Amino acid sequence: MVEPLAIETRKLGRVYKIRGTEKKSGSRRAVKQEEPRLRVALQDVDIQVGQGELFGLLGPNGAGKTTLIKILTTLLAPTTGSAFVAGYDVTRQTDQVRACINMVSGGESSGYGLLTVRENLWMFSQFYGMPSHYANQRIDELLQVVTLADRANTKSSDLSTGLRQKMNIVRGFLTDPQVLFMDEPTLGLDVGASRDVRRFIRRWVDEHTDRTVLLTTHYMVEADELCDRVAIINQGRVLACDTPGNLKRSLQEEAIFRLEVSPLNGAGAASFQSLPGVNKVVHHSRDGRSELELILEDEAALAGVVNQLTSQDVRILNLEKREPTLEDVFVELVGRSMEEVEGGSEDGG
Amino acid sequence: MDPKMAADQAVVTPHAHPPRRDTGWRLFVRTVVGRAYPRVIAQQRERSWMFFEIFLPLVAVSAYVLVYRAIGAPEDYVGFVVVGGAMTAFWMNVLWTMSSQLYWEKESGNLALYIMSPANLMAVLLGMAAGGWLATSLRALVIILVGSLLFQVRYTVDSFGLLLAVFGLSMVALYGLGMMTASLFLLLSREAWHLANLAQEPVFFISGFYFPIRSFNFWIALSASLIPLTLGLDAMRQLVFASGPSLGFLSVPVEAAILAGLCVVFLTGARLMLAHMEKLAIREGRLTEARR
């Protein structure tokens, strides 16, 4: 991490009050009263992002990523702790913070459908005090970069999801902010468009040392490919924070195998967890087959797994040893895959 | 995107010496103009307003004119109806594109972008009001012109200056009311649509769009005066029709003074409500949540 800091949070926490249906009996008259439930979205989050860094927040839906971005962009007050952006306190110095940030969210439908791409972008530039001639010049240049120049005079309501997201991305970069927040910027984009957007973000950060991007994603590849450092976040807590390389190296001493086997029930899969040398097991069922992701202490532990499979009359269809990925780091830290965590999550974070 | 093309472009970085960005009152003005723009431009792109906001009010005006002529009402009543019909365009505009607007901005995700930008939220609301007023003035003018020609309305204007002053005060107070209720409607969230529906027709009636407000009991007329169009319309009718003063509710100077008071109350209210809304949005986090 590089000094000076662009973003810093200290013991940051956020609790939401949810008006639920939980009811309790009141006084002797047994009046039923609605009791708000509390949901902890962030807990004791300590993050330091240096100027010029492309920092990733990786976690499943509902992990607290969006909540953290909302606090840092002055849209939400923290319940506990403090946060600073470009050296300014996000709760006490909101005007200063707002002058040096911008935000792009995946799947957003901001702007007005009746306006053209160029008009929408110009309108937003005015809210940042950009002189019109300069704003128009920058709009032309950036539309060229994201190859949207030929749609500059198209009404934004006529754009596809991908093209609309490109317009949103230009909106975020247009003001050339010191700190840019990108909340799932490639959400809904096809593979090619996502790759181009990632390349563009990387170039933008690399061209100036004082530019910082905080990007949230639940795509492992995106975090791995793009970010200088990554914080893995789950249930409102930061579980690990390091470069993707270092995070993966933490698993280097372990052996990671992917096995494709004939159908296996959940209990059968759980039985592997207790075998000696088996650190983590993730079980998926796909197309009438079972997939086992195994994190083992060493390769020798694989023998025990194979024996167990044989004793259960399970056939091994494919076996592959592979290098650790951020997904494996997540499994190691959380105990479940991101997909499994998201399957159990109720709402976004 | 063609990656090769994008990679070859070296324009991600802005120019070496970008011009200074405006702050303070200049930023305020830029924000007003920026937010007014969609309102003005929408008029040219969405032509359905010609039917909904000119033809339909003219039909309503025609119905009243025919009734008044059938019962032999004084000819100035026809003029009252035409002027009232034109003013309905402003009420519709305030109700549907001012009061309800912050709610729609929240739903589209714009509200979050407005709040986190350096722009002042009052400037955003003022931009909505200014743009809406400009676009609606054209519609109101068309109704006045077509209605006056169609029904041969005769105007007797003694003081254009006073007429413009009363019109200006009415508009500031009316759009001030819209700016204030924008935050209120947002806080009431999903009820905004129903509230706007609920407020539309009763206000046409109670504000005397098609008859002199004096026809009501004094206290009812006074209560209706909380809606700026009631007194604005009454004062303008007194200033443009020969029989206007005899059918007026209060004298023009008194009505103008009340309108000035309403301007102060509603604009101050708008500012306070907006600050409250922003505080609440940041505290609870729900008001800036857009649908995905």
Q: Look at residue A313 and tell me whether its pLDDT is greater than 60.
A: yes
pLDDT (tens digit per residue) in A179-207: 999 998 888 778 888 888 888 899 889 88
Q: How far is A337 from chain B (nearest CA, A)?
A: 25
Backbone region of residue B257 per phi and psi (left: phi > 0; alpha: psi in -120 to 50; beta: other values): alpha
The domains located in chain A, with CATH, are 5-24+33-243 (3.40.50.300), 253-323 (3.30.70.260)
Q: What is the pLDDT of residue A262?
A: 86
Provide ipTM, 2 decimals: 0.87
Q: For chain B, how many residues are written?
A: 292
Instruction: Provide the pairing of β-strand A179-183 with A101-105.
Output: parallel
Instruction: Provide the pairing of β-strand A278-286 with A32-34.
Output: unpaired
Q: Is residue B34 part of a domain?
A: no
pLDDT (tens digit per residue) in A31-85: 455 677 888 999 999 999 999 999 999 988 889 999 999 999 999 999 999 999 9
Within A108-242, where are the H helices?
117-126, 132-145, 161-174, 191-207, 220-226
pLDDT confidence of B15, banded at 50, 70, 90?
A: low
| Cβ–Cβ gap A176/B14 under 8 Å | yes
pLDDT (tens digit per residue) in B96-116: 888 888 888 888 889 999 999
Average pLDDT score over chain B = 86
The whole-angstrom separation of Cα A67 and Cα B74 is: 65
Q: Look at residue B12 and tell me whether its pLDDT is greater than 90.
A: no
Q: Is residue B227 part of a domain?
A: yes
Q: Angle CA(A52)–CA(A58)–CA(A61) in degrees, nearest 5?
A: 135
Q: What is the pLDDT of residue A143?
A: 92
Q: Is residue B11 part of a domain?
A: no
The whole-angstrom separation of Cα B88 and Cα B35 is: 23
Interface of A with B in 178-217 (CB under 8 A): 192-193, 195-196, 199-200, 203-204, 207-208
Q: Is residue B176 part of a domain?
A: yes
| Cβ–Cβ gap A134/B18 under 8 Å | yes
Q: Which domain holds residue B71?
A: 47-284
Q: Look at residue B289 and tell me whether its pLDDT is greater than 70.
A: no
**Domain count for chain B:** 1
The phi, psi pair for A33, rounded to 5°, reads: -125, 135
| CA torsion through residues A64, A68, A70, A76, sign | positive
Q: What is the pLDDT of residue A268?
A: 64
pLDDT (tens digit per residue) in B212-232: 888 888 999 999 999 999 999
Q: In Å, what is the CA distance from B121 to each residue of A95, B101, B114, B125?
A: 12, 13, 7, 6
Tell me the mean pLDDT in the region A147-169: 91
Q: Look at residue B93 and tell me whether its pLDDT is greater than 80.
A: yes
B18 near A CB under 8 A = yes
Q: What is the pLDDT of residue A286?
A: 78
pLDDT confidence of A21, banded at 50, 70, 90?
A: low
pLDDT (tens digit per residue) in B30-70: 999 999 999 999 877 877 777 777 888 889 899 999 999 99
B116 near A CB under 8 A = yes
pLDDT confidence of B13, banded at 50, 70, 90?
A: low
pLDDT confidence of A348, banded at 50, 70, 90?
A: very low
Q: Is residue B182 part of a domain?
A: yes
pLDDT confidence of A20, banded at 50, 70, 90?
A: low
Q: Is residue B6 part of a domain?
A: no
The pTM of the full predicted model, rounded to 2 decimals, is: 0.84
Q: Is residue B168 part of a domain?
A: yes
Q: Is residue B177 part of a domain?
A: yes
